[in-house]
Amino acid sequence: MDMKLTVQTFLTLDGVMQAPGGPEEDPSDAFIHGGWQAPFADPAVGEFVTELNRHASAFLLGRRTFDIFRGHWPDQTDPADPIATAINSLPKYVVSSSLSEADATWRGEHPDTARLVTGAVVAAVRALKDEPGDELQIWGSGQLLQTLLQHELVDRFRLMTFPLVLGSGRRLFNDGILPATMRPVDLTVTDLGIVLGTYEPAGPVRHGEM
């Protein structure tokens, strides 16, 4: 079975996905709200992430997210941690025009699991999707996502939407992407008000009058 391309991301109500994990994660473009996810320590989110990680056959990452992941996950070596085990051991494809093959390596016990994608990104991603497996998962990687959305390459969205509005920061869905209807596959609201939503594209937007 070919791999499905799936997007997993933490979002605010106004669609911001930038730097949920900490102030230094991604302060680009003078973003001052890094770490906005931290006050919402909800175990239901952890359970959701653990479960979706079980479907990963490989990861597709933009350069910035790859650097963030590479700076953290190789140090998480507890074999009982299913998220760290998956991220460290499974293939990671990094899309970058500036990295060299020598630079696109993973630290720790699995140095050969990171692979560089250069050149025609859309064609390369289509080829990856044609490989056997369950899911090719994307975390973060906002700039790469815009390209994938433009070419309708995403098969499933898992959006963890937190009850706050920031008013600035990079967003998942920006002006200019192709309009699309989404089919809700599963929706859950946690005790802290975080919406755990799984959606799949369901064709073009239809119009009418009310």
User: Would residue 47 count as lying in a domain?
Assistant: yes
Per-residue model confidence (pLDDT) at position 14: 96
Q: Could you tell me if 169 and 13 are in contact, meaning their C-beta atoms sit under 8 angstroms apart?
A: no
Which segments in the chain show pLDDT lower than 70?
Answer: 102
**Domain residue limits at 133:** 4-201
User: Would residue 99 count as lying in a domain?
Assistant: yes
| CA atoms 27, 20, 52, 189: torsion sign | negative
Per-residue model confidence (pLDDT) at position 175: 86
Per-residue model confidence (pLDDT) at position 155: 97
User: Would residue 210 count as lying in a domain?
Assistant: no
**Using CA atoms, how far apart are residues 138 and 95, in angstroms rounded to an integer?**
11
Reduce the DSSP state of residue 148 to 3 states and report it. Answer: helix
User: Would residue 19 count as lying in a domain?
Assistant: yes
Q: Could you tell me if 153 and 3 are in contact, meaning their C-beta atoms sit under 8 angstroms apart?
A: no
- Write the CA distances from 107 to 117, 168, 200, integer angstroms: 18, 33, 34
Per-residue model confidence (pLDDT) at position 182: 96
User: Would residue 186 count as lying in a domain?
Assistant: yes
Per-residue model confidence (pLDDT) at position 104: 81
Per-residue model confidence (pLDDT) at position 146: 92
Per-residue model confidence (pLDDT) at position 90: 96
Tell me, what CATH number does 32's domain have? 3.40.430.10
**Using CA atoms, how far apart are residues 147 and 198, in angstroms rounded to an integer?**
21
User: Would residue 52 count as lying in a domain?
Assistant: yes
Per-residue model confidence (pLDDT) at position 193: 96
User: The whole model's pTM is what?
Assistant: 0.91
User: Would residue 148 count as lying in a domain?
Assistant: yes
Overall number of domains in the chain? 1
**Using CA atoms, how far apart are residues 70 and 205, in angstroms rounded to an integer?**
38
User: Would residue 193 count as lying in a domain?
Assistant: yes
